[in-house]
Amino acid sequence: MKWKIGDRVETRDAYGLALLELGKQRDDVIVLDADLQRSNKTYDFGQAFPERFFDMGIAEADMIGTAAGMAATGMTVFATSFAMFVPGRCYDQIRLQLSYGWANVKIVGVSAGLTQGPDGATHQSLDDIALTRPLPGFTVLVPADATEAYQAVWAAAEMRGPVYIRLGRYPTPVLFDQNYRFCIGALPIMREGRDLVIYATGIMTALALVTAELLAHRGLEATVLNVSTIKPLNVNAILDAATGKTLAISMEEHWTVGGLGSAVAETLAGVAGMPPLLRLGVEDRFGQSGTADELLAHYGLTPPTMVETILRFARSVGASFEK
């Protein structure tokens, strides 16, 4: 890996590099794509290992069925398309052949979320976590940066069973150096603070850190957790981080229903002493065409706007911050 902290790198680029290195070391790794190999960064793997690469065309359901069959023969299969199309276009096959069948298939949804950008609502996946998170046996990973994405691909290959990995085309700041070790289920604490806790996932982790810095200028200190494993969710880490805090915030580039915010809400519900939760994401509407930065601003997911939303929420619930 050639990037360093502060570089802006698309997590899909890390996926392409990880696949190429995996292919060199493991001849059981098979890659399938659905007519988007250059955009999905599977092209280099296909050129290096043509006998282990299959472009299935615009036939996502067929791709999942083929992946399940290959996995049944002992292969470790990566099935790749835009996150809008997988899981969206082939949910029945994912549910029955991968989840029910506990197939060793790793679904990689690329160009996820609002930051897919100008292609608009038809291509912006805001429900992919909600679709995959309830499926029994599924692991759901949303890396925060290129370093984590690269290592998450390796971690997925090393475990048995179905995995969904959510990746983006938005150049995201690199947060972790080469000494970082990704572990499924670990929720790294990115910043410590006494007043509130922010649970962030994917590209929102970097934005959460900026938001926390702006909050500090307003006299509020936030703990920031990088929730790169949505499932299995580390319940103890979620609860420990919320204990003693006045507010809890979730941040995601996804609908607020069914994603990280829902997972955190389910965890905090019914536990005595937990703080009120504000879920930041896209509220009950579709995306639209625009640049990634324009869309994040339009949907209130930029740090200055999120600070003001948090402060309004604090006032609405009567939060009192002890100094």
Q: How far is CA 178 from CA 13, 38, 146, 166, in A?
A: 16, 26, 11, 21
pLDDT of residue 317: 87
Return the closest-CA partner of residue 222 out of 201, 261, 250, 203: 250
Q: How far is CA 310 from the centre of its chain?
A: 22
What sign does the dihedral 232-234-236-241 (CA atoms) show?
A: negative
Question: 214: part of which helix (H) or strand (E)?
Answer: helix 204-217
- Contacts of residue 307, defined as CB under 8 A and 6 or more positions apart, other chains included, come to 211, 214, 215, 218
pLDDT of residue 322: 60
pLDDT of residue 292: 95
CATH number assigned to the domain covering 8-173: 3.40.50.970
Q: How would DSSP label each residue in 131-149?
A: HHTTSTT-EEE--SSHHHH
pLDDT tens, residue by residue, 211-266: 999 999 999 999 999 999 999 999 999 999 999 999 999 999 999 999 999 999 99
Q: From first to last of its 323 residues, what are the pLDDT tens digits of the chain?
A: 679 999 999 999 999 999 999 999 999 999 999 999 999 999 999 999 999 999 999 999 999 999 999 999 999 999 999 999 999 999 999 999 999 999 999 999 999 999 999 999 999 999 999 999 999 999 999 999 999 999 999 999 999 999 999 999 999 999 999 899 999 999 999 999 999 999 999 999 999 999 999 999 999 999 999 999 999 999 999 999 999 999 999 999 999 999 999 999 999 998 999 999 999 999 999 999 999 999 999 999 999 999 999 999 999 988 877 65
Return the closest-CA partner of residue 277 out of 305, 308, 238, 228: 238
Q: How would DSSP label each residue in 267-322?
A: HHTT-TTPPPEEEEEE-SS---SS-HHHHHHHTT-SHHHHHHHHHHHHHHTT----
Is residue 107 classed exposed, middle or buried when 0-12, 13-18 and 19+ CB atoms within 10 A define those classes? buried
Q: Which amino acid is at 300?
A: G
pLDDT of residue 270: 85
pLDDT of residue 2: 78
pLDDT of residue 198: 98
Q: Which amino acid is at 140?
A: V
pTM: 0.96
Q: Which amino acid is at 94?
A: I
> Hey, do 8-173 and 189-314 end up sharing a CATH topology, with the first three levels equal?
yes
Q: How do strand 76-82 and strand 8-9 relate by DSSP bridges?
A: unpaired
Residue 295 tokens read as 């869309």
Q: Which amino acid is at 118?
A: P
> Residue 184: what are its φ and ψ, rounded to 5°?
-60, 125
Record: fold of 189-314: Rossmann fold (3.40.50)
Sorted by where each begins, the domain ranges of the chain are 8-173, 189-314
29 C-beta neighbours (distance < 10 Å), count:
20
